[in-house]
Each structure stands twice: as C-alpha cells, then as structure tokens.
Structure 1
Amino acid sequence: MQSIEVVLAMLLAVLASGYLVRLLPFSLPLPLVQIGLGAVISGVFNQGVVLNPEVFFLLFLPPLLFLDGWRIPKSGLFRDRGVILQLALGLVLFTVVGAGFMIHWLIPTIPLPVAFALAAIISPTDPVAVSSIAARAPIPKRIMHILEGESLLNDASGLVCFRFAVAAAMTGGFSLASASLTFLWLALAGLAIGVLVTLGISRAQNWLSRHVGEESGSPILVSLLTPFGAYLLAEHLEASGILAAVAAGITMSRVELSGRALPTTRVQRAAVWDTVQFALNGIMFVLLGEQLPGILRDAADSVQEAGHLDPWWLAIYALAISAGLALLRLAWVWGSLHWSLLRARQRGERPERPHWRLVAAMSLAGVRGAITLAGVLTLPLLLPDGSPFPARDLVVFLAAAVILLSLVMASLVLPRVLQGLELPPESTEHQEEDHARMAAARKAVRAIERAQRELPTEVGEAEAYASAAARLLALYQKRLHDVVPTGTDPAQLRLADKAERALRLAALQAEREAIFALARNRMISDEISRKLVREIDLLESRYR
C-alpha cells in the first residue's frame, strides 16, 4: 500500500510541476522542478522507493525511446546520419577514454576500470532532457534533429562500454576483440529485432482485423505493448533492448504511412501517447530527485573514499568532471566540423562555416539524464572475492552530480549563447507543406470526379450527389489556389493567416458554447453533445 501511495505522490508531483514551472518568476527547466519535487517527497515526507535499475529500464525506457524513434523526423535522421553516428559512436568512445583517464588522474583512489565505467555511463546524452532544454532555447531544427538522433543511438554504445568496464573491474581483464564482436551483436541484432517485431505485430494485427474484427481500443493497446515486446525479446537474445525499442519506433513510423489505421484511432492514439510521454518523463526526473537524499547521505563515505575530509572536495570533483566532459565534447564537435568542411572543399564545394555560437550550443546541449542514473545504480556491491566494489558510493554521487550540473548549465547558458543569433531561414519545411497540400488536394479532386461518375441513377439522389460534389470540388479548388504564389509578400500572408485563424477560433468557441448550453438545458442528450463537441475540438486543434 505504501508503494502505491508513493507512486500516486510522484504522479501528483509531475502534475504540480507543470503548473509550478509557469508560476515561477524566473525561467527554469521542467526537469529541474521535477527533481526538486522528488527530493521533497523523499526528504520532507520521508517516503521513497528502492530503485531497481532493471525494472526502471523495462518500465520507462522502451515506451519513451519507441515514441522518440516514431516521431523523430526521418528525413533529418537519414540526411545527417554521418554526423549522428560520429556523435553516437565516435564521441562516446572518445569520452570514455578521455574522461576515464582524467577521472583516474583527478581521483587516484578510483581504479582505472572503475573510472572508465563512470566515464562510460556519463557519456550518453538523454533525449528527454535534451527535448526539455530545447523547448526553452531557440535551437535550429536541424541541430535539434542531430541532437535527438544522437541521444537515441548513443545509449547503446555508452551502456556497452559501461558493461565491459564493469566486467574489467570485476575480473581484472579485458579483451578488445571480444568487446568488438559483442558490440556488433548487440547493435545489429537489436536493430533487426526491433524492425522484425514491429513488422510482425503490424501484419498480424491487420490480418486479425480483416478476418475477425477488433475492438476500438485494440490498436492503441497494441502500439503500447510493441516496444516492450521488442525490448524483452532483444534482452532475452542478449542483444540491445534499447536499440530494439528505437528501431521499433522508426519502423512504426514507416508502417503508419500505409494509412490502414482509422482516423479516430490515430487521434485517440496520439492523445494516449502524449499522456504516457508526459507521465513517464516526469516520473523519471521525480525518481531522480527522490534518490538524491540517499545519495547525499553517502557523501561522507564518498569523501573518505576520495582521500579527503572536507566535503567541498566532492563539489570540486563534480565541477571538474563536468567541465572536462564539456571540453571533450567541444573538441570533438570542433574537430568533426573542420573535417567535414575540409572534405567538402576537396569535393569542390564552398560550404558555409557555421557561427561559433552554434558550435558552442552543440557542446552545451550534451545533457545527461535518468539513463545515466539508472545505469550507475547497476554497479555491483561486491567483487567476486567478497570485498566491496571500489569507490561505488563516490561513483554514484559523481554521476548524479554530473546530471544536475549538465541540466543547470544547459538551462542557464544555452539560451544566452543563442540569444539574438540570426539563423538562416529554413524554408524547405514550408515548401514541403505546400507541396503536400497541393498533391493531396489534386488527388482528392480526382477521387471526387471519379466517384461522381458512379452516382446513383435515381433522379433525386443524382441531384443531391451532384450538388455535394460541386461543393467539395469548390472547396478543394480553393485550397489549390490558396497555395502561396511566387512573389507574394510573406508578411501580408502571415497577417491574413493570423486574422483568419482568430476568426475561426472565435466561431468554433461560439459553436461549442451553444452546444454546451443546449446540453445544460436538456434540449439535446449528453451523447449528442459529446459527439458534436469532439468534432469542434478536432477542427480547433487544426488551427491551434
């Protein structure tokens, strides 16, 4: 019963954080507010949970990574695949080696394999934290897509490096050949399992729905269970469950393009997934805050493990490691950028050098999150000979401190780095939207004309169908003519769109109030009221 109360308290904390972040007189990222509320739950009310990392990975990571893979723009993911792989693989290995030697040099009491383990678990960035920080900073969309792609893929490489570093600390040995083969199996098998599971579930669901039928909520429940199936199967086969969940989400976005799902199913499924994403994201950071008091209580032992008596040395170590991570990331981004510019010049191109503030933003946006905390808590308590795992409490504390410092630094410095920076306009998105609208309208006109030729032969019905077809054709012809012609003043178009949107929203609000009034006066049933209000809400969501 106590565990249920703690879960309910965490959900209330997630709910309260959404309002509290808007009431604060200063700008603060939502994850930091949720971490603070989690610390209040654990510290003030003396309530908390024992975080089982395996359960945490199973409950939280598959659905969130699946949704990120589902919704991430695929054009940007494949267009910048080279940069993303450099960050997700090359930067992780660079960080593990560089930060590992730095941590061992800074704190000699931490053995080198344990230092590599700490460096590996703090190397991956967190997609949830990155998205939250980006919501308050004007990060260009292309850079944001690169950061999202990096955070989706670098979890696997970081956790694999962490696993081998822990194995080296436990056994005292390390085989590069064995580690390379294991990494290839984890990555390739994980990706393949995610793709095959999603395709198999989708085809089985389509076959059942055609031959047996299905309940209205079945497709939504299937989409919620798919990431868990891919994750569990991959883990059972000793592949990467994280990459399997990501691959399942990317495959689901391709399956979605088949258009087999009903419109109402897509609307309801999007609402359900938005709720799941908000709740799980919030609970992850509330759990992080809930773990902080216990981590801080072990700080005294951590200081002694580091060979000092003053607890302020912990803060110095955390700041030094955070600064080292930022410098390593900056060096990698700077080097990769100049290498790309050099290759482009060799091909005869004239690439434009990005502003230095964009390079700095790429370095500051490497935010760590709950994945780092869950991973570091999997450190074993004892070595095979029964002795305590060296510097375990110190490593856990430093990982938690790096998470907090990266969140604070990104939330405070990143908006100021990008403030006032004039970015080149990204016009391709508007062009793609216009192209899609015109293509859809043309196909709709052809479909109406084709259906009109198959009208009923009765005179009364034929006239009614012809009148309806004429109205629809006029609507789609207007949409075709409304596409922006070349040479039109964009400012006037934006003003006209703004005015039309305001008028439409006012009209829809009036319709909704009229329906509510009729329902309150019992002139229409609640069922009719809900149906009509839902139609109005869907129309309004288009203009919001």
Structure 2
Amino acid sequence: MEIVFTVLILLLAVAGSGIVTRVLPFTLPLPLVQIAIGAVLAWHRLGLHVTFDPEIFMMLFIPPLLFADGWRIPKREFFMARRSILMLALGLVFMTVLVVGYFVHALVPAISLPVAFALAAVLSPTDAVALTGIVGKGKIPGRLMHILEGEALMNDASGLVALKFAIAAALTGVFSLRDASISFVVIAVGGLATGAAVSWLFSFVSARFFSLTEEGDPAPGVVMTLLIPFSAYLIAERFELSGILAAVAAGMMMNYSTLASTGPVSSRVRANSTWTMIEFVFNGMVFILLGLQFPHILGRALLNAHETSNTQVLLLIGYIAAVAVALYAMRFVWVWLLRWFASRGAAKQGMTSAVPGLRTVAVTTVAGVRGAVTLAGVLSLPEMLPDGAPLPGRDLAIFIASGVILLSLVVAVVALPLLLSGWRRGKDPHLAEETLARKIAAQAAIRAVDKVHDKECSNLDESSSAYAADVTARVMDIYRRRLATFDDEQEPRELARRADALEFRMKLAAMRAERKTLLALRNSQEINDETLNKLMREVDLSETALTARRK
C-alpha cells in the first residue's frame, strides 16, 4: 500500500505543479517548480522518501520520453544539422570526459581518475526537456533549438557508454582505447538498428492483424505504441547494446511507419493525446524525483561538513562551482571552435555572414543544462570494489553531480532570458513552405470535390442535380476562400481573411451554444450521459479542429 500512496502523491504533485505555475505572481519555469515541490515533499515531517533506483529509473522513465522526443523532432532539420549534432553529442562528450575528468582528479585528489572520468561522463549529457521548460517554446531560434534537441537525444547514449567504460576501468584498473572505440560503434549502431527494427515490426503487426479501419477501436494500436520504447530498450539492453539509442531510433522510425502516416484519424488523435499526457506526467515525475533526492544528497553532505568546519562547507560548494565553470568553459570553447571552422568553410564559398556570432555561442553554452540522466548515471556507480573496499570518491562524486544539476538549472533560468532578450530571429523559415502546402492541399481538395460531384450527379434528375450542385458549391467555397487568403493582391486577400474570421466567430459561438444546450438537456434528464458524451465528443472534436486551424 505504501507504494500505491507514493505513486498517488507523485501524481498529485505533478498536477499541482501546473496549478502553482499559474497562481504564482511571477514567472517560474515548471521544472524548477517541480523540483521545489519534490524538495518540500522530502521534508522529514512529511516522511516521503523515494529510493532512487538508477536501473528502474532508466528503464521506466527514459525510454518513453526519448521515444516521444524522437517521434516529434523534425527529421529533415535533424539530418540537415547532423554534423553539428554529432560534434556536440559525440565529440564534445568525449572531450568533456577527458578534460573535465583530469580537472576533477586534479581538483579533488580523493576522487580517483576512473571515478573522475565517470563523473565527467554523467555530467556530459544535456536535458532538452528542462531547457524547453525554462525558456518556453519558440524563444530559441528554430535551427539552434533543433541542434540542442538532437544533441540531447544522442548524448545520453554517448555519455552513458563512456560511464560504462569508466566504471569498468575503476573496478578492474584496465582500459583499452581501441577496444572501447570498437565497442562504442557496435553498441551505438546495434542500438539504432534494434530500435528501428522494433518500430518497423510494430507497424507490420498493426497493419496485418489489428484491422485498423475507421470503424475499428484504435485502443489496441495505441496501447502497442506504449510498449514500443520499452521493448526496444529491453531488447537492446539484453544484447548489451544501447537501449537509449534504441528508444530514440524507434521514435524516429514511427514517422515512417504505415500506421503513423496513413492510419485512421481516430488512432492518430488518440495516440497524440495519450502521448501528450504521458510526456507531462513522466517529465513531471522525473523533476519531482530530482527534488526528492537533492535534500538527502546535498543537505546531508553539507550538514556533515558543517559539523567539521565552515571551511569544509565552503570547500564543497567550491567544488560544485569549479566543476560547473569547467563544464561551461569546455562547452564554450568547443562550440566556438566549431563556429570558427564553419566560418572558414563559409568564407571559402564567399559567404561572410553565414555563421552565427558570439550570442549564439553563449546561448548554446548556457543551454546545456543537466537533468535526471546525470543523477541516474552517477547513482549507478558501484559502492564497492571487487576486493570489498569502498569505491573511493563515490559519495563526493554524487554530491558534485547533484550540485551541478541544480546550478545549471538556476544559471539557465537567470542567463537565458537575458541572452535571448531582443534577439531578432527574423521570419519563420518554414512559413513559405507552410503556405505552399496549404495552397496545394486546398487545390487538391477542390479537385477531389469536383470528381465526387461528377460521379454522384451523373444519374440524378434535374432537381437532385441542382441540389447536389449547391452542396458542391458550398463545400468548394471553403477551399476557394482559403486559397484567396494566399492571393498576391491585397484587396481579395484581406476580404477573404475578414470572411474567414467572421466564419470562425460564428462557428465558435454555434459550437459553444450546442455544448451549453446539451448540458442543459442532460441536467433536465431529457438525455442520458451516454448520449451527452457522444454528442459532446463530436462538438469538442469540431472545435478542436477549428481552433487548431485558427492558430
């Protein structure tokens, strides 16, 4: 029963965090609110303590979140920015392990070199979810945000693979760069292939055996999508491949599966709403769990140090600050070097302003916030060496990693709004292609309506044919007016937009009147709940489609 109560409290805390962000008199990012709620729940008087099991956490929370990110990320932009993403997700991670690892060992000799490398490895992955929660959607320019999201998708795997080799070196005292490089390629490629294969297999099974027609129940297919990330992760881990990359590849493959592209509308609507809820709940639980751990990790270490001397407390805080500065410096230098090499290549092609400036480098540096994967990784460090002796520096490494996570979030909350203030991002680069797609789709719709009219009216009498022509004209008018909003001339474009706005207000008023009337009929017992739910769903879906197009 205790587990049930804990889960219910966590769910209540996730829901409450959304309310808190709305009632606060000042703006505070949702991840920080959730961490604060977790820290309050960890107060000893409340008595809520959740043991953070890294293995269970990595299996339960990380696969679905990475799967959803991989499903959602724009594939074209991801592949266009693949060089920058790989240089950050692979090159920066391994340079961070090397440089920051030696720095940590020199700063704190009590932390052995393998453990210092392990600490640097878990500090290298970034958290795009926390970043989005801090700055909001659309605040960072699209191309840069795509690079940061792609980096966060890929560097979890590279950081945890580096951690695996660092732990092996700490336990055995043996490390081979050649063997580690070959193993990394096998683990990464194998994980990507496993995830893609699992996603393709799901698509095949759904198309062959679920009979997903418009009239069929989409629930079985949606439930199977929930199993894909866990299946991909567990199968990959079973063969000692990268489960994280398997979950990412499975999500990215979903956009190319038959169900995602041509399946029934009911299945897509339900899958989207289901995954939106899962992302909110799981992301919320991740940050609340972080908040639950920080008082026990940071608070206990600082209290123990305070019992020794105030100098020891300042020394521990100094360790956190020094490691954070080293991470920021490493990231800044790496991104600046990437910019410098890119500028040289652009200059050879005659482009003098093709490369972003110092502000972009600064934003990229500060945007590298750390999150739950870092804490899960550092807590997975073994407590004992093979001879039974304690692993030297483990507790201090956990303390430093926890402090850097919290500090990176606070720095991002303060610095990113200042860096992004007044940044002219220019026009939306996707606006032109969106306009073109709307025009082509509207023209295709008009042609399809015309074909249906010719087919349906071929054997009708004069009266029925006239009625059908009137219906056809009304349907075509919707798309003709939509095309008129993209007209090159100002006057017809403005007239079409005013007509479209008037139609929107009228339809919205009509739908809300329908909803109010249906509720009144139910309250007067003239219709039952089953009838109400059916009719309300129709109105809700119509209003959702109307408002989505308006946005």
1:481 equivalent to 2:481? Answer no
CA deviation profile, 1:246-285 (whole Å, cap 9, x unmatched):
0111110122686332112211211111111100000001
CA deviation profile, 1:382-402 (whole Å, cap 9, x unmatched):
001110011111111111111
Residues 258 and 380 (structure 1 numbering): CA distance in 2 closer, same or farther, change over 3 Å?
A: closer
**Which moved further from structure 2: 200-209 or 248-257?**
248-257
Q: Distance in 2 between matches of 1:466 and 1:327?
A: 70
Asked whether the equivalents of residues 109 and 391 of structure 1 are also in contact (C-alpha less than 8 Å), the reply is yes
Report the Cα offset of residue 506 of structure 1: 4.1
Report the Cα offset of residue 137 of structure 1: 7.8
Asked whether the equivalents of residues 518 and 536 of structure 2 are also in contact (C-alpha less than 8 Å), the reply is yes
Asked whether the equivalents of residues 232 and 247 of structure 2 are also in contact (C-alpha less than 8 Å), the reply is yes
CA deviation profile, 1:425-484 (whole Å, cap 9, x unmatched):
22x322121111112122222222222232273547655544433322222222222225
- For 2:123, the equivalent position in structure 1 comes to 122
Q: Report SS of the residue matched to 1:266.
A: helix
Asked whether the equivalents of residues 124 and 155 of structure 1 are also in contact (C-alpha less than 8 Å), the reply is yes
Q: Report SS of the residue matched to 1:311.
A: helix
Given residue 347 of structure 1, which amino acid in structure 2 is its aligned partner? Q
- For 1:24, the equivalent position in structure 2 comes to 24
Q: Distance in 2 between matches of 1:466 and 1:502?
A: 27
Q: Distance in 2 between matches of 1:137 and 1:268?
A: 25
1:113 equivalent to 2:119? Answer no
Given residue 90 of structure 2, which amino acid in structure 1 is its aligned partner? L
Residues 134 and 347 (structure 1 numbering): CA distance in 2 closer, same or farther, change over 3 Å?
A: same
**Which moved further from structure 2: 510-519 or 398-407?**
510-519
- For 2:301, the equivalent position in structure 1 comes to 299
1:513 equivalent to 2:525? Answer no
Q: Distance in 2 between matches of 1:17 and 1:288?
A: 14
Report the Cα offset of residue 41 of structure 1: 1.6
Q: Distance in 1 between matches of 2:36 and 2:494?
A: 43
Asked whether the equivalents of residues 302 and 393 of structure 1 are also in contact (C-alpha less than 8 Å), the reply is no
CA deviation profile, 1:138-196 (whole Å, cap 9, x unmatched):
21121111110110001111111111111111111100111011100111011111111
Residues 317 and 503 (structure 1 numbering): CA distance in 2 closer, same or farther, change over 3 Å?
A: farther
**Which moved further from structure 2: 135-144 or 196-205?**
135-144
- For 2:81, the equivalent position in structure 1 comes to 80
Given residue 532 of structure 1, which amino acid in structure 2 is its aligned partner? L
Please list, as runs of the form range in 1=range in 2, the aligned pairs for 1:145-164 lying within 5 A after superposition.
145-164=146-165
Given residue 478 of structure 1, which amino acid in structure 2 is its aligned partner? R
Q: Distance in 1 between matches of 2:119 and 2:420?
A: 31
Report the Cα offset of residue 200 of structure 1: 1.0
Of 322, 325, 345, which aligns to 2:324?
322
CA deviation profile, 1:193-247 (whole Å, cap 9, x unmatched):
1111111110111011349996431111011111111111111111101001001
Number of residue pairs the alignment of both structures matches: 542
CA deviation profile, 1:41-60 (whole Å, cap 9, x unmatched):
22231221212111111110
Q: Distance in 2 between matches of 1:22 and 1:418?
A: 23
Q: Distance in 1 between matches of 2:365 and 2:267?
A: 40
Q: Distance in 2 between matches of 1:257 and 1:437?
A: 23
**Which moved further from structure 2: 463-472 or 286-295?**
463-472
- For 1:60, the equivalent position in structure 2 comes to 61
- For 1:378, the equivalent position in structure 2 comes to 380
Asked whether the equivalents of residues 130 and 148 of structure 1 are also in contact (C-alpha less than 8 Å), the reply is no
Report the Cα offset of residue 16 of structure 1: 0.9
Report the Cα offset of residue 498 of structure 1: 7.0
Q: Distance in 2 between matches of 1:211 and 1:503?
A: 35
Q: Distance in 1 between matches of 2:269 and 2:312?
A: 57
Of 346, 349, 352, which aligns to 2:351?
349
Asked whether the equivalents of residues 203 and 259 of structure 2 are also in contact (C-alpha less than 8 Å), the reply is no
Residues 315 and 300 (structure 1 numbering): CA distance in 2 closer, same or farther, change over 3 Å?
A: closer
Q: Distance in 2 between matches of 1:519 and 1:135?
A: 40
Residues 492 and 62 (structure 1 numbering): CA distance in 2 closer, same or farther, change over 3 Å?
A: farther
**Which moved further from structure 2: 399-408 or 487-496?**
487-496
Q: Distance in 2 between matches of 1:540 and 1:10?
A: 33
- For 1:102, the equivalent position in structure 2 comes to 103
Q: Distance in 2 between matches of 1:302 and 1:374?
A: 23
Asked whether the equivalents of residues 100 and 327 of structure 2 are also in contact (C-alpha less than 8 Å), the reply is yes
Report the Cα offset of residue 307 of structure 1: 12
Residues 349 and 296 (structure 1 numbering): CA distance in 2 closer, same or farther, change over 3 Å?
A: closer
CA deviation profile, 1:492-536 (whole Å, cap 9, x unmatched):
999997777566544433332233223323344433433333233
Of 534, 538, 542, which aligns to 1:539?
542
Q: Distance in 1 between matches of 2:499 and 2:445?
A: 26
Question: Where in structure 1 are there 5+ consecutive unaligned residues?
Answer: none
Q: Distance in 2 between matches of 1:410 and 1:233?
A: 36
- For 2:13, the equivalent position in structure 1 comes to 13
Given residue 537 of structure 2, which amino acid in structure 1 is its aligned partner? R
Identity of counterpart residues, as a percentage?
44
- For 1:425, the equivalent position in structure 2 comes to 427
Report the Cα offset of residue 486 of structure 1: 6.5
1:70 equivalent to 2:71? Answer yes
Residues 484 and 371 (structure 1 numbering): CA distance in 2 closer, same or farther, change over 3 Å?
A: farther
Asked whether the equivalents of residues 39 and 295 of structure 2 are also in contact (C-alpha less than 8 Å), the reply is yes
Q: Distance in 2 between matches of 1:359 and 1:538?
A: 43
Asked whether the equivalents of residues 381 and 389 of structure 1 are also in contact (C-alpha less than 8 Å), the reply is yes
CA deviation profile, 1:292-317 (whole Å, cap 9, x unmatched):
2321354169859x999622211111
TM-score (normalizing by structure 1): 0.93
Asked whether the equivalents of residues 85 and 151 of structure 2 are also in contact (C-alpha less than 8 Å), the reply is yes
**Which moved further from structure 2: 224-233 or 43-52?**
43-52
TM-score (normalizing by structure 2): 0.92
Of 414, 417, 420, which aligns to 1:415?
417
- For 1:438, the equivalent position in structure 2 comes to 439
Q: Distance in 2 between matches of 1:371 and 1:136?
A: 22
Residues 488 and 420 (structure 1 numbering): CA distance in 2 closer, same or farther, change over 3 Å?
A: farther
**Which moved further from structure 2: 283-292 or 456-465?**
456-465
Q: Distance in 1 between matches of 2:138 and 2:408?
A: 15
- For 1:51, the equivalent position in structure 2 comes to 52
Residues 491 and 177 (structure 1 numbering): CA distance in 2 closer, same or farther, change over 3 Å?
A: farther
**Which moved further from structure 2: 179-188 or 476-485?**
476-485
- For 2:455, the equivalent position in structure 1 comes to 454
CA deviation profile, 1:44-85 (whole Å, cap 9, x unmatched):
312212121111111101111000000111121111111111
Residues 158 and 437 (structure 1 numbering): CA distance in 2 closer, same or farther, change over 3 Å?
A: same
Residues 257 and 475 (structure 1 numbering): CA distance in 2 closer, same or farther, change over 3 Å?
A: farther
Asked whether the equivalents of residues 303 and 394 of structure 1 are also in contact (C-alpha less than 8 Å), the reply is no
Given residue 175 of structure 2, which amino acid in structure 1 is its aligned partner? F
